[in-house]
Structure 1
């Protein structure tokens, strides 16, 4: 029996944020667009495109459309629901509670995870403790629904791979992990964390991976990230899940940016496929 590819490719909804914001693409048509336009059969949602509707309005529609097109729902990226690491405990609890509806939506859609942020304030140690507390509270709600709570490097101290790894270690729950993003390693306006080091530090906790892309050279290689080097780190960590296309550039149309990122991942996958033992 021929083994399948060592990773599969999914599409992050943020790759189409311009079309979604200007009304060119209805958020409910994202599953069809992924499959028909982009040839991708697994998707990652962004909560902001559905926040105005109650879960019972959009979840059944998405379930119907993903079923119709043979698309797998993987996760929901959650933003704008409060700081899980807020210094004030009451504010942390409010943020945790605000995330509950997205846990419920993810479970109803058949996703494996919600992606959250580890936003906080204070010293690095204080932020670690506060973020770990909020994450632990949220994962205890999510675990009975078999939903993971995964944290992306997404600005502030969360873009410090070692710090975020320490938060996840402190949470110490099998349902709490990471979503390493190839590009989000700017801690502040003056500090950029090494992206290869950061992904290496976060891969032991990874339950999803985001292949961020912005621009490409004439050979179709991403100009900010060496995809072969980065995907070697992903492969060598033993990861065998989905890698999400997340095109965020402006030099290409969203359709072309998704296509070129997907083609690059396919080339790198073929080059780096682990050799089976005889």
Structure 2
């Protein structure tokens, strides 16, 4: 394991060879600049257009990750399976993943209500809506489900914190019976405020709770406010049980040019994290497959293992 000083020098000082253009293939990422220190997974959302349109088979996601991109770990998105979801779907996802030797990391859970809903019945309904995904995650061999920390945005910072902590803690207690963690991504509302998210973790104070820092999700642009992504990542990393390596756009040398991606990876590294960082490409100027490969290659250069 290189020292932090070695990592910074290597990660921030690209040589000419690393900048040279290259052909992108599924199984031939660029050479790493540092010794591997984290694992790479593929977030299913990267291919969301293909899955929504039916151009790719959502039940074959693990095979797509392995055969098209050379990635042997996956993070599912429940939205693609909500319609007609049943244990048979989970069984098929497991069959495909096991057949390809692909590890299932987590399930990202959306459209499950607000864990901090001020209406007790609605809050309980939100907790209950996550239970099928805990079941599925256990069957698939995941370590966690990713949830949203939403409340009533019209209420105060502190009230939303208290309400959300209550629902999240109750879900973590259930997650404990499944041997699964319940982790929160900055995903809009106050969850995209790094200080609020850290305070939420401290208030829940359960061993199963954690964060999934996402490089692109600090601040809520739809609500008209911003938050420094580097600060937010720094504040979230002490609780991280996963990281989302969000990318949007690349320059000609294969560097993400909408943010200082290398600085963000160094923040992750400095925290002592050594788990999965996912490939989550969300750009629209190149096709998703190319964006995934560029993100994968950049992560490999910075110490990612496939």
Task: Place the TM-score, normalised by the shorter chain, in its bin.
Answer: over 0.9
Which residues of 2 match residues 69-148 of structure 1 at below 5 A? 69-121=100-152, 122-148=155-181
Structure 2 residue runs of 5 or longer lacking an equivalent are 1-34
Pair 1:240 & 2:274 matched = yes
Per the alignment, in what secondary structure is the counterpart of residue 220 of structure 1? Answer: coil
Q: Distance in 1 between matches of 2:53 and 2:85?
A: 22
Give 2:48's match in structure 1, choosing from 10, 14, 17: 17
Given candidates 237, 241, 262, the residue that maps to 1:228 is 262
Higher relative contact order (CA 8 A, sep 6+): 2
Deviations 1:176-214 (A, max 9, x none): 000000000123442110000000000000000000011
Q: Displacement of 1:139 after TM fit?
A: 0.8
* 1:149 paired to 2:182: yes
Q: 1:257 aligns with which of 267, 281, 291?
A: 291
1:218 CA drift (Å): 1.4
Q: Could you tell me which of 174, 191, 205 is aligned with 2:225?
A: 191
> How many residues were matched structurally?
269
DSSP-derived class of the 1:157 partner: helix
Report the CA distance between 1:54 and its aligned residue: 3.1
Q: Are the counterparts in 2 of residues 55 and 105 from structure 1 also a CA contact under 8 Å? A: no
After the TM superposition, which parts of structure 1 deviate over 3 Å for at least 4 consecutive aligned residues? none
Query: Counterparts of 1:98 and 1:255 in 2: how far apart (Å)?
Result: 32
Checking the alignment, whether the CA contact within 8 Å between 1:227 and 1:268 is kept in structure 2 is: no
The answer to whether structure 1 residue 62 and structure 2 residue 93 are counterparts is yes
Give the SS at the match of 1:149. strand
Alignment partner for residue 210 of structure 2, among 174, 177, 195? 177
1:219 and 2:250 are equivalent in the alignment = no
Superposed displacement of residue 82, structure 1: 0.4
From 38, 51, 56, the equivalent of 2:69 is 38
TM-score of the superposed pair, with normalisation by structure 2: 0.86
- Alpha-carbon RMSD across the aligned residues, in angstroms, is 1.5
Corresponding residue number in structure 2 for 1:276: none
Q: Offset of 1:55 from its aligned partner?
A: 3.0
TM-score, length basis structure 1: 0.94
